[in-house]
Structure 1
Amino acid sequence: MKSSIRRFLSGVAAAAIALTGLALGVSSAQAETTENKDTGTITVTASNGTAGHELTAYKIAAYNSGEYAATSDGKLDTSTFKYIVDQGDESAIETALDATSISATASGTRTKAEEGLKQLSEDSSAAPYGYKQGTNEGESNERKFADKLASLKSSTTSTWTPSYSLQMTADKDTNTFTATLPEGLYLILDGYTSGQSAANSTQSVPMIVGTTFANTNIKDSGNVGKVTLKDTSAPITKEVVTDKTGTKQDNNPSYNTTDTVYFKLTTKIPNYDGYASDPTLKNTKTTRQFSIIDTFEAGKFTDPNVESVYDGDHLLTVNSDFDVTLSSGTGSSANNVVTIDFERLVNKEPKAWQGWNSGDTISVIVSGKLSTAATATTAGSTAGTGADTLGNNNTVQLEYSNNPSDTSSKTTVQGPIVNVYTHRFTINKIKADGTALPGATFQVSTGSTPLKFTKDDIDGAYVVNNDDKNATTDLVSGEDGKIVVKGVKASAPGVTYMVKETKVPTTGGYLQSVAPTYTVTLKDEFKNDSTNPARASDTATTAGDDWLIGLQYDYTQDGYKLVTAGADTTDAPTGDTATVKNVTSITQLPKTGAAGIAMFTIIGVAVIAVAALFAVRARKAAQRA
C-alpha cells in the first residue's frame, strides 16, 4: 500500500492491532500470582473524535506485579517479566491462539496460554494493519489472535466471559479514552453506534494493548499503554465551479434561469482493510458501501446530470465502476436527488476498474439547470453557512460502511451546502398622472440580443427562459402597470440590461415618439464561506462557496427623464424598481428641457414629412410636363 495512503488514513478502521502491549519476549519468572492489585493506565487517542464510540477493555492476562524489574537504564528487564492468565480465561485464549500459526505448549511454570502469548509478542508482520491488503483476512498472528478473541466475546453465542472488564472514559475535549485498571494485557472492543448524529467515523477493529507499568523504576516504557483508535473517517466536500472541467471555483455564483450550474464533489476512498467484500454484490452483510448523495433544492433546479467521475486522473465509467440513480426529494415531484454509488468499484466487481487504492481522491462533476421557479432576490443576506433563503442551494452527503463485521451498517457524513443566486427587477409603467398604465410592451436585452421570457403562472412575472420554444421577447405591462423581470444574473463589475419600450399603448393617445429606453446595471458582492474545506486546486485559497451580501442597481435615464425613482420626481431610480411614464402631450414631459427637445424632434419629423410631400409632387409635375 502506498505510503501516502497510509498517511491519509493512519487511523483506519482496518488498522493493525497495537503491538505496544504485546511486550516483549519473556523469560521464565519464578513466582505466579493470580491476583494483581497494582494498576496501570491505557489511553486511546480517537483522532476522529469520541462521538459514537464506546470502548471496553477486557483483560487477557495480568503482569507478574511485584516481580518484574527495571534494567539499569530504566527499561523493562524482560528476564523478570511474564504474563499470568486467569484459569477462567485460558480456554478462550488457547482457542484464539489456535487461529494463528503459533503452536504453543505448557512449559515450566507457563501454561499453554501464557507460552502462546510469549510467542505472539515475538511475532511481527509488515502487513498493513495486520490484514492482507483490501481484505478482511488477517495476515499477522497478532491480527488473527485479536479478531478470533473478539469473536469469542462478541458473538451471539459468546464462549468467553472475561474475568475482568472496564468501560473506558471518553473525553471529547481531548479526543481520548482513558482507564486506570489492573496491570496487564487487554483486548479493547468498540461498541460503535452508527448514525448521522455520530462522528464521521467507523467502528474500530479489535485492539490489543498493555497497560503502563506500576513499577516506577521503569522510566522508559516506550509506548506501552498508548494506542490510536483503529477507525477511519472520509471527507466530502462541495463547491460551485465555472464549467464541467471543474478546474476553477466560481466565487460569483450568479446565473440566469435556465443556465447550467456545475458543482464539484470530492471525497476519498476509505481504507477497507479488515472489511469483507462481495464482487457479486448479493450479500448485504459483506458488500462494501460507498456512495455520494447530491441533492438539488426541490423545485429550484432541473435536468440533474453527472458530467464526469474520476479516481485521481483515471476516468471512471458509469454502469461499470459506478451507478447513478435519480429520485425525488421532499416537496417536489422532480428528480432532484442524484446518487452516485461506487459498490461496483470498492467490491471489485469483475468489470469494474481494479487499479484503485484506499485513499484515492474521487472527484465528481454534477450539473443542473437553474429552474424558472428558482428564488430571485433583490438584496443580499448576512454572510453565513448552510442554505441561504435568498439563494438556491445544493447539498451533498457521503455514505460508507462503518462496521468491519457488517458492511451494511453505514456512516452518513453531511457535506457543505452551497448556494447559487439569480435576481429580479421591476418596470412600473404609469401615466403622466401617476396611475397604472397597462398594455405597454418592452424588451430587455444584454448587448444587442433580446432575452427570451416565459410568464410565471403563479405571480405573473416574466422569467428568463432559453429552453422554451414558445418564449417571447415581448413583455407587456399588466393592469397594475407592473412588469416583474426575474431570473437575471449580476456580476461584480456589473451586468447591464437595456430596457426598451417597443410599443406604446395604442389607446389613450400616447406619444409614440417619446417611448423611453434606459439601462440598469446589476452589481453583486459576495463573501466566501471560509468553513468549506473544498479546494478546486492546490493553489486555491477559497472554495466556490459564497454568500451574496450585496446587490446594487445602477441606472442611466432616457433623454426625456421619463424613467425615474417615482411618479413625483425626476431623479434616477436607485433600487430594484424603475417608474416609466408615457405621455399624451409634450406639455406632460418633465420641465427640464425635455419638452423643448421633444418639440424640436416633432417639428423635425414634420419638416421631413412636408419636404417629402413636396418632392413627390415635384416629381409628378415633372412627369406631366
Structure 2
Amino acid sequence: MKSSIRRFLSGVAAVAIALSGLALGVGSAQAATSEGTITVTASNGTAGHTLNAYKIAAYNSGEYAATSDGKLDTSTFKYIVDTSDESAIETALTAAGISATASGTLTKAEEGLKQLLGDSSAAPYGYKQGTNTRTSDERKFADKLASLISSTPSTWTPSYSKQMTADANTNTFTATLPEGLYLILDTYTSGQGAANSTQSVPMIVGTTFANTNITQPGDVGKVTLKDTSAPITKEVVTDDKGTKPNNDPSYNTTDTVYFKLTTKIPNYDGYASDPTLYDPKKTRQFSIVDTFEAGKFTDPQVVSVYDGEKELTDNFDFTVGLSAGSGSSANNVVTIHFQKLVNKADSAWQDWKSGDTISVIVSGKLSTAATTTTKGSTDGPGADTLGNNNTVQLEYSNNPADTSSKTTVQGPIVNVYTHQFTINKIKADGSALSGATFQVSTGSTPLKFTKDNAGAYVVNNDDPNATSDLVSDNNGKIVVKGVKASADGVTYTVTETKVPTTGGYLQSVAPTYTVTLKDEFKNDKSNPARASKTATQAGDDWLIGLQYSYTQDGYKLVTASTDTTDVPTGDTVYVKNVTSVTQLPKTGAACIAMFTVIGVAVVAVAALFAVRARKAAQRV
C-alpha cells in the first residue's frame, strides 16, 4: 500500500494541508478536465487479470502549477470530488477513522482526503503481515470503497470508471483517464493459460499530471499489482533425504524412487484465516498434488515435509490424502494439504512466514507394469512415452474476498526409466528351442523375476514367489524386463544353467555371457528447480541414448543373429545349443570341445580299466 499511495499522496494529497482556508476561485465541480495516465505493472503476468479504474476525485485541472524546478506546486493543488461520489468517499473515510467537516470551498469529502496521509504502514500491502488486519488508513479506505462497489446490491456506482488495457508483452496494464485519484480493482480468473498469480487487493493511485511543466513528477501514475505467486518445482533425487538430484534416473522395477517437491508459502496479506477450517470462504488453501503415472508406480508415500529447517508433523501441520487419478483404479495421487499450517490451527506450528520454503520428499515403487525401453528419446520437457512420469501441481487461495477460490499451478513432469533385453534360444539350424533355463545376475546375486501377462520376466524383489530361473518358451524366447542402466554401465551375467534334457544337446557347452547397459541423459534446463536454483542440476532428465555391449562365451554360441558369429550390439541376442561338436562354430572352439569330450571319455575308460583291474586282483 505504501508503494502505491504514499509515494503519490506525499507529492499530491499532502498539499491539501497547506490549502486549508484558501479559495482558488474554482468550485468543487467546476475545474476543467485534462487527461493523465495510470500504468500498473503485473510482475506475475497479466493473464487472467482484468483491471478497472474507478474515479475517487479529480485534480483541479488548469489550476495547479509547477515550481521552478519542475515539481508540483503544492500550494496550487486540490482534489475535487463529484457530488455523486461524496457519500461513498465520506463512508470510506469514516471506516478509515478519518473525521472531517466542510471548510471554505472544500467539501467534507475533500477535507477528509487531505488527512489520508495520517497513517502509512510499513507493510507493503497495508496489512499486518500474514493477516487481513488493516494497519493503515489508506488500506482501510481502499478496502471500504471496494466493498461498496462489490456489495449486493452495490451501494456505490462511481461517477466514472474505465477498464484498463493489458499488454502481455510488457506485463503492464495502462489507461488514459481524466486526471485524478483512482481506485483500481482486479478481477482474476484462474485456469488454463492464466498467470501463476492471485487477485490483487484494492489499490489507490493517481494519474500522471497533464501539466507538462511538471517535469519531475516522481512515481505518480505508477503502481505494482498487489498480487502474489507461488512456485512449484519437482525433481528426482538420490535418496529419502533429497541429498542431491538424480541425473541418471534409471531403476529396476520394484526399486523405490524418490522425488523432491519444493514451493513457497504465498503472501497471505489481506486474506482471512480460519483455524477451525470450518468456513470455506475464510479457510486459506495451500496444497501440493503429486501424481504418479497410473499403473506405473505402487506404494506412494510422503517421506518427510519441511518448512525450511523445521520438520513438519503429519496430522498437526499437514494432512495427506490418497486418491485415484483419471484413468486409474489405484491410489496414484498424493495430496499434501497445508490448511492447518497456513490457517494456524491450534495444533500447527505457529512461526511460519510468507515466503518460507516448503520441501516434501515423496516416494513410489516402480511397478512391474512400468514402461520399459530399449532406446532413447528426443529430449524435451513433459512426459516421455518411453519413460514413467510423475507430475505435480500447487493449489493456493487466489482471492482475498473468498479464500475457497484457488489458483492451480502446473509444475514440471519428470521421468524415470527401466529397460529390457531379449534372449532367443535356438538350435544349431536356427530354429526355436524351448525348455532352456537361464539365470541373470548382477555380481554373484541372481535377480528374482515374476512373469507379466505377456509372458515376459520382470524384475520383482517384492514377491516371495519370484524365481531366478528363466525358461525359454515355445518360441525359444525369454524377454527380460525391468533392469536398470547407468552412465558407467550396469553389467548383467547371463548363464544357461540347464540345457534342455531332450534332443541330445551337449551339457558341457552351455554358454555364459555378459550384457552391459550404458545410458545417456540430457538435463531439462527448463525445469524451474534449476531456474529457482533449488538445484544446480535438477533431477529432470531425458534418456537420449541406450547402448548394449556384450562379451561372448568361449564357444561363440551367443550371436547377433542365427547365421553369424558376430558379437551382438542391440537388445536381442541368439543363444545356440548343439548336439555335437561338429555343430560348433568353426573357430577353434570345436577343437576345445573335442578335447573336452575326449578328456571325459579318457577318464571314463581309465575308470573302467581300474574297476576291471580291481576285480582281477580279487580273483587271484
Shift of residue 134, structure 1, vs aligned partner = 1.8
Q: Do the aligned partners of residues 294 and 622 (structure 1) sit closer, same or farther apart at CA in structure 2, a change above 3 Å counting?
A: farther
Residue 167 of structure 1 is matched in structure 2 by 163
Q: Do the aligned partners of residues 201 and 36 (structure 1) sit closer, same or farther apart at CA in structure 2, a change above 3 Å counting?
A: farther
Whole-Å separation in 2 of the counterparts to 1:289 and 1:82 = 44
2:136 aligned with 1:140: yes
Whole-Å separation in 1 of the counterparts to 2:557 and 2:42 = 69
Of 574, 579, 595, the residue aligned with 1:579 is 574
Residue 155 of structure 1 is matched in structure 2 by 151
2:229 aligned with 1:242: no
Whole-Å separation in 2 of the counterparts to 1:111 and 1:621 = 142
Partner AA of 1:212 in structure 2:
T
Residue 40 of structure 2 is matched in structure 1 by 44
2:105 aligned with 1:109: yes
Whole-Å separation in 2 of the counterparts to 1:91 and 1:539 = 52
Instruction: Give 3-state SS (helix, strand or coil) of 1:335's partner.
Output: coil
Whole-Å separation in 1 of the counterparts to 2:88 and 2:343 = 33
Shift of residue 101, structure 1, vs aligned partner = 1.9
Residues 486-541 of structure 1: CA distance to partner in whole angstroms, max 9, x if unpaired? 00000111100000100011111111111111000001000010000214996943
Residue 88 of structure 2 is matched in structure 1 by 92
Residue 13 of structure 2 is matched in structure 1 by 24
Whole-Å separation in 2 of the counterparts to 1:616 and 1:308 = 73
Residue 121 of structure 1 is matched in structure 2 by 117
Residue 485 of structure 2 is matched in structure 1 by 490
Q: 1:593-604 counterparts in 2 under 5 A?
A: 593-604=588-599
Shift of residue 330, structure 1, vs aligned partner = 1.8
Whole-Å separation in 2 of the counterparts to 1:64 and 1:183 = 8
Q: 1:330-341 counterparts in 2 under 5 A?
A: 330-341=326-337
Residue 226 of structure 2 is matched in structure 1 by 230
Instruction: Give 3-state SS (helix, strand or coil) of 1:599's partner.
Output: helix
Q: Do the aligned partners of residues 15 and 439 (structure 1) sit closer, same or farther apart at CA in structure 2, a change above 3 Å counting?
A: farther
2:275 aligned with 1:288: no
Shift of residue 123, structure 1, vs aligned partner = 3.1
2:449 aligned with 1:453: yes
Instruction: Give 3-state SS (helix, strand or coil) of 2:141's partner.
Output: helix
Shift of residue 410, structure 1, vs aligned partner = 0.1
Shift of residue 71, structure 1, vs aligned partner = 1.3
Whole-Å separation in 2 of the counterparts to 1:312 and 1:24 = 43
Shift of residue 128, structure 1, vs aligned partner = 4.2
Whole-Å separation in 1 of the counterparts to 2:458 and 2:234 = 28
Residue 544 of structure 1 is matched in structure 2 by 539
The more displaced of 72-81 and 485-494 is 72-81
CA contact (8 A) 1:44 1:227 kept: yes
Shift of residue 188, structure 1, vs aligned partner = 0.4
CA contact (8 A) 1:185 1:208 kept: yes
Whole-Å separation in 1 of the counterparts to 2:292 and 2:120 = 51
CA contact (8 A) 1:247 1:536 kept: no
Residue 186 of structure 1 is matched in structure 2 by 182
Whole-Å separation in 2 of the counterparts to 1:472 and 1:492 = 28
Q: Do the aligned partners of residues 447 and 622 (structure 1) sit closer, same or farther apart at CA in structure 2, a change above 3 Å counting?
A: farther
CA contact (8 A) 1:308 1:364 kept: yes
Whole-Å separation in 1 of the counterparts to 2:531 and 2:160 = 52
Q: Do the aligned partners of residues 277 and 514 (structure 1) sit closer, same or farther apart at CA in structure 2, a change above 3 Å counting?
A: same
Partner AA of 2:138 in structure 1:
E
Instruction: Give 3-state SS (helix, strand or coil) of 2:57's partner.
Output: strand
Shift of residue 606, structure 1, vs aligned partner = 2.3
Shift of residue 127, structure 1, vs aligned partner = 3.5
Whole-Å separation in 2 of the counterparts to 1:534 and 1:81 = 51
Whole-Å separation in 2 of the counterparts to 1:125 and 1:111 = 27
Q: Do the aligned partners of residues 395 and 288 (structure 1) sit closer, same or farther apart at CA in structure 2, a change above 3 Å counting?
A: same
The more displaced of 149-158 and 394-403 is 149-158
Shift of residue 352, structure 1, vs aligned partner = 0.3
CA contact (8 A) 2:180 2:206 kept: yes
Instruction: Give 3-state SS (helix, strand or coil) of 1:146's partner.
Output: helix
Partner AA of 2:586 in structure 1:
K
Whole-Å separation in 1 of the counterparts to 2:613 and 2:390 = 73
2:304 aligned with 1:317: no
Residue 568 of structure 1 is matched in structure 2 by 563
Shift of residue 15, structure 1, vs aligned partner = 8.6
Residue 210 of structure 1 is matched in structure 2 by 206
Q: TM-score, normalised by structure 1?
A: 0.95
Whole-Å separation in 2 of the counterparts to 1:102 and 1:114 = 12
Instruction: Give 3-state SS (helix, strand or coil) of 1:191's partner.
Output: strand
Residue 268 of structure 2 is matched in structure 1 by 272
Instruction: Give 3-state SS (helix, strand or coil) of 2:49's partner.
Output: coil
Whole-Å separation in 2 of the counterparts to 1:558 and 1:235 = 54
Shift of residue 90, structure 1, vs aligned partner = 0.2
The more displaced of 291-300 and 71-80 is 71-80
CA contact (8 A) 1:299 1:374 kept: yes
- Please provide the CA RMSD for this pair: 1.7
Whole-Å separation in 2 of the counterparts to 1:80 and 1:513 = 110
Partner AA of 2:476 in structure 1:
G
CA contact (8 A) 1:20 1:209 kept: no
Whole-Å separation in 2 of the counterparts to 1:413 and 1:223 = 33
Partner AA of 2:417 in structure 1:
Y
Residue 296 of structure 2 is matched in structure 1 by 300
Q: Do the aligned partners of residues 15 and 304 (structure 1) sit closer, same or farther apart at CA in structure 2, a change above 3 Å counting?
A: farther
2:469 aligned with 1:474: yes
Residues 243-291 of structure 1: CA distance to partner in whole angstroms, max 9, x if unpaired? 0110200000000000000000000000101000000000000000000
The more displaced of 147-156 and 34-43 is 34-43
- Share of identical aligned residues, percent? 82
Shift of residue 434, structure 1, vs aligned partner = 0.8
Q: TM-score, normalised by structure 2?
A: 0.96
Whole-Å separation in 2 of the counterparts to 1:167 and 1:80 = 30
Residues 174-209 of structure 1: CA distance to partner in whole angstroms, max 9, x if unpaired? 000000110000000002112243110000000000
Instruction: Give 3-state SS (helix, strand or coil) of 2:198's partner.
Output: coil
Residue 3 of structure 1 is matched in structure 2 by none
Shift of residue 614, structure 1, vs aligned partner = 4.5
Shift of residue 69, structure 1, vs aligned partner = 1.0
Whole-Å separation in 1 of the counterparts to 2:39 and 2:532 = 38
The more displaced of 309-318 and 23-32 is 23-32
Residue 7 of structure 1 is matched in structure 2 by none
Shift of residue 79, structure 1, vs aligned partner = 1.2
Residues 583-621 of structure 1: CA distance to partner in whole angstroms, max 9, x if unpaired? 111111111111111001111222233344455666677
Shift of residue 228, structure 1, vs aligned partner = 0.3
Residues 57-104 of structure 1: CA distance to partner in whole angstroms, max 9, x if unpaired? 000000011111111211111111110000000000000011012121
Instruction: Give 3-state SS (helix, strand or coil) of 1:151's partner.
Output: helix
Instruction: Give 3-state SS (helix, strand or coil) of 1:377's partner.
Output: coil
